[in-house]
A = this chain, B = another copy of it.
Amino acid sequence: MKWLLNAWYQAAWSSDLGKGAGLRRTICDEPIYVFRGVSGGVSALRDRCPHRFAPLSAGQIVGDAVACGYHGLSFDGAGACVANPHGPIVERMRVRSYPVVELHEAIWVWLGDGDKADPSSIPDLSFIDDAEPAARISLYMPVRAHYQLLVDNIMDLSHADYLHPSSLGGMVTQAKATSREEKGAVIAEWIALDCPPPPAFRSRVPPGSNADIWLQVIWRPPGVMVLGTAANAPGAPRQWQDEGYTLHNVTPETSERSHYFVCSTRRYRQDDPAFVEMLRKTLLHAFDTEDKPMIELQQAEIGPHDLLELDPILLRVDAAAVRARRYLRKLIDEDVVSARAVR
């Protein structure tokens, strides 16, 4: 499996890690221990003590370091050994550490060449920071599928009409759909005018009214997608406060497993806890009982292969997903070339 290593991957939500807490998360086949020291900073280390290969995640966080639970060697967030109860510390006693950035309520880890780890290349997700914390819905879901299948799923929202007919779907297939590549992103858009709104959109227009609906997904590699939505009474101009934005961020775990992060925000009804709760249930239900089973079945059929190499039939609705796949392929190929050139 070729991974895009020179990239930021979301490892967790900031709120997943209190001070002195950590979690093991495998990213691109690499087991990583992400932990927050007592000072509050977050570090990421290869989850393996270099002594006898016990996972550091089975140890204890002591201050801003982690002590291996098997024989007590301690490592700081940079991977340097800071305590060896059995003798002197030597330079070889070190664990690989990964650049970490905490931004937009998320913890991001860089797996590639440390010199290239530029935090400014993390996509701007300030819509998350701008949302009322009480109105944010943050989810984490493990999925037994290759991350590109999960990207495909969002890049082609027409699936909502078939997979989520009772909540999110109903108008996407009939909408005017476009997609384009723009500054390192792939943007897909759907506009449907004067249509019956999908059930989950009904409360955004007057009761019984049709709606003008706008959907947009901006994908940035490897798996960061921002889904914008708006629903207005037909003909009414779309305004700032009509929009909602949801992050769908897929981090590859292995070639057949992924970490799926969602953060839903909106600019309307931010102060309505019952509405937030309803939305959370709708999202979870749709994902857990509709998207996830279907995508895991797809994965079971595709196995270790690349979908596009299996010669699937491509439809118009696949345009955005295929753009994203090709763009990502190009980045991975370039990355491999540059990695070779450097070494």
Indicate if A58 sits at the interface (CB-CB under 8 A): yes
Min CB–CB distance A285 → chain B (angstroms): 16
Q: Is the CB of A87 within 8 A of B294?
A: no
Which residues of A229-265 are within 8 A (CB) of B? none
Min CB–CB distance A240 → chain B (angstroms): 32
CA distance A316 to B90 in the complex (A): 13
25 A-B contact pairs sorted by A residue (CB < 8 Å): A48-B301, A50-B312, A51-B315, A52-B152, A52-B307, A52-B318, A53-B301, A53-B302, A53-B307, A53-B310, A54-B294, A55-B298, A58-B293, A58-B294, A69-B162, A71-B158, A71-B159, A71-B162, A72-B161, A72-B173, A85-B158, A85-B173, A86-B173, A86-B316, A92-B313
Of B52, B71, B86, B158, the contact of A86 (CB 8 Å cutoff): B158
Q: Is the CB of A50 within 8 A of B313?
A: yes
Chain A: residues with CB nearer than 8 A to chain B?
31, 48, 50-55, 58, 67-72, 84-87, 92-93, 152, 156, 158-159, 161-163, 173, 293-294, 297-298, 301-302, 307, 310, 312-318
Q: Is the CB of B70 within 8 A of A294?
A: yes
Copies of this chain, complex-wide, total 3
Interface SS of chain A: loop
Q: Is the CB of A72 within 8 A of B162?
A: yes
Cβ of A158: which chain B residues have Cβ within 8 Å of it? 71, 85-86
Cβ of A159: which chain B residues have Cβ within 8 Å of it? 70-71
